[in-house]
Chain A
């Protein structure tokens, strides 16, 4: 076991992927000499050279479009989108090309492109630096969407994403980049849990609380706080946002009868809406209360000094848990 930050774990995973396959290459803005604005690719260009760790012009559509062509040629591009809010110039290439080239070519051409996106808020950034755009991509057939919450998952899941023959959106919780954890760097990738599966990180019996990426830690804090009040929360880290591991999620809801979903992204049309709908369809007769979403509000990501009102925090998640338990008066603070 090695102790690493989440960012360092991704760096180690990228290094392992580059070493394992000469067709794997990294592309992005400032990822070379600088090592990325978050230093996630630190040292990799020096180790693998400028053709395998390519600094690109400042054009996100250009990065994704050229990655498509490299995919046609048999390459496995790993692209970095510098910040979540900068992904939209590439949206057309991702939605119209990356996601459907495999289908368009009747399965002949695979585009094993990994799109790394530092995402989410809580770091006091300027506008366009704290977005949570994952729902756009989860909605798009042909893409896989994942988000790790721990250094161990970051290390294994980045390698699994690169190894996948499908395009993968890899959402990195940027406010967790510097959180440290133990990483087993020696365990063979084949022995790791698949990237598509959810992970029950706290076992409980009263309420199922679903989170991913930056809010998993907050959800676990909620479970700890609730335990002191005699409430048993089961926390599940989704890990994969598309597809969803509905079997694992449904099993938990069938056990607890109560469901809370939390994410930073706005609630309307978000992942929470899909999860609640899917689980209600599957578990309607098990539910003892209407499912609850605790999400960002339906506003543009706010200026830094308003972030604390926007981001679901421990108190708002606890409030959501109270609502799911049917506690009277616990209404404020939940989105939707």
Chain B
């Protein structure tokens, strides 16, 4: 396939519609399903138990109940389904964690190992607040930088595109009920930094090409954007593909603890690739076009 001869701008309304659709589905999903919040965001304890063999969920539950613990959800994980992710709505004390390990070791043997993470609800609220600040502050920083380096229209459309990507990832996690924890925020922020990275490559080229074309009307501006995308498309694709190699490798081989992180990253990168090509530059095009040519007399002026 030759990416260099595709007309990217003429179908922009279609892409805007697709993206708008994705956002609407996302909002509905979040309203309906909410999030599968990890202990980081609602408090409680998560035990990641390496059981080491295939196990029945109710056995683990029963075993924990013998030591007076009532788990909320138990999920199986791992390639051989040899792990159990057990969640408690209350934060367990260190004695309770120890007794859980003892009970499971007696049942399943010495290979049992536990990763525990407990967060106080008060602390959880603080983490949520910090996460929101972080995403907001990062977006603001990027807008300021891009406004200085380019112009505010690039900055705003670039940030719109990255929020589009971040939101798409959030929607995917909501729809599939994937657990959201602190590493998820790290992934979102990395996407924020990276998605804009990819968008800049195109913006940079538009800026470079603008003086070369004598832009007199919307068609000329469209041409500049189209040519700029055509010229940078291989660059955009290749830079994302190499990062995807890394994130997909982490997703498949990186192990349980960073699986969700790698998943968020991979989904975000794919959306980031899409939005830098089909959304960011096209949004800019419409905005800039409106501003440049709004004073142009309309042909059906007499009618009004």
Same complex origin of A and B:
no
